[in-house]
Amino acid sequence: MCSNYRPVTRMDRLLTFFGVERARDDPPEDIFPLGLAPFIRLRRGTSESPDDPVRVVEDGIFGLLPRFASEVAFGRKTYNARSETVAVLASFREAWRAGQRCIIPAECIFEPNWETGRGVRWRIGQAGDVPMGIAGIYASWRHPDGRELSTFAMLTVNADGHPVMERFHRPGEEKRMVVILAPEHYAAWLSCPVSEAARFFRTWQGPLDMAPEPLPPRTPSAGSVRTTRPPKSPWSGNGTLFD
């Protein structure tokens, strides 16, 4: 699973590695559930070429919101979609069956390493400063105030025995990892029939760099205890995901 990652937000890197144009650069900020970050999808044609889908990038909420969700906070439970159940779980099946697949551009992801007896946040990324293209699904959701919001979730697969991912999460827990796509598979992932999409559900076998990168401690207020916590979501509340 992945509850924390660093998105690709620079225009030049999105164009170079993913072939999409974005109108602005954003500072690199780590994203937690309900945070806003770029995702890449197909827009089904233009007025000039109605039959030619175009790859576009837009901002969405990290945590897919199905139509029946009553509040944004629902996304705290739906930022990852298990590949084994994405086609049947109520939260994800409508987006999956509609072929609403996307690519989530990530500089790196973060996972908790428990080898010291406590959860320490580690950064995991590809070698050579190459970003990851993570397989995802997306959906539009209407906020009670009338806004139409884009939302997305990362797809995950079982990673028991994986040479890198077996080092993360609590001892005894199932090991899982996000689905990392090879660049040559980006186009097929976005456009293939739903019946063929499951062929991309596999663990990443390429090289990965990893190192501890704990969250910086939040500046304590007077009389408070110093804690390490993720930044607040722009939508509601926050929670401690790592010790």
**Which pLDDT does position 216 carry in this prediction?**
78
**Which pLDDT does position 243 carry in this prediction?**
28
Return the percentage of the chain with pLDDT > 90, whole number: 79
CA distance 221 to 149: 34
**Which pLDDT does position 47 carry in this prediction?**
55
Asked whether 79 and 33 are in contact (CB, 8 A), the reply is yes
CA distance 17 to 229: 31
Asked whether 62 and 32 are in contact (CB, 8 A), the reply is yes
Concatenated DSSP letters for 155-203? EEEE-TT-TTGGGBSSTTSPPEEE-EEPGGGHHHHHHS-GGGGGGG---
CA distance 136 to 96: 10
**Which pLDDT does position 28 carry in this prediction?**
85
Which two tokens mark 40?
Answer: 């890449």
What rounded mean pLDDT belongs to the chain? 89
- Interval 208-242: pLDDT, tens: 999 999 987 765 544 433 333 444 455 543 333 33
- Domain layout of the chain by residue ranges: 5-212
pTM for the predicted model, two decimal places: 0.88
- Interval 11-24: pLDDT, tens: 999 999 999 999 99
Return the percentage of the chain with pLDDT > 70, whole number: 86
**Which pLDDT does position 25 carry in this prediction?**
96
**Which pLDDT does position 215 carry in this prediction?**
85
**Which pLDDT does position 7 carry in this prediction?**
98
Q: Which of 213, 207, 130 is nearest to 162 (CA)?
A: 207
**Which pLDDT does position 65 carry in this prediction?**
98
Domain 5-212 CATH assignment equals 3.90.1680.10:
yes
More reliable by pLDDT, 159 or 47: 159
- Interval 76-134: pLDDT, tens: 999 999 999 999 999 999 999 999 999 999 999 999 999 999 999 999 999 999 999 99
Asked whether 84 and 202 are in contact (CB, 8 A), the reply is no
Asked whether 42 and 57 are in contact (CB, 8 A), the reply is no
**Which pLDDT does position 237 carry in this prediction?**
39
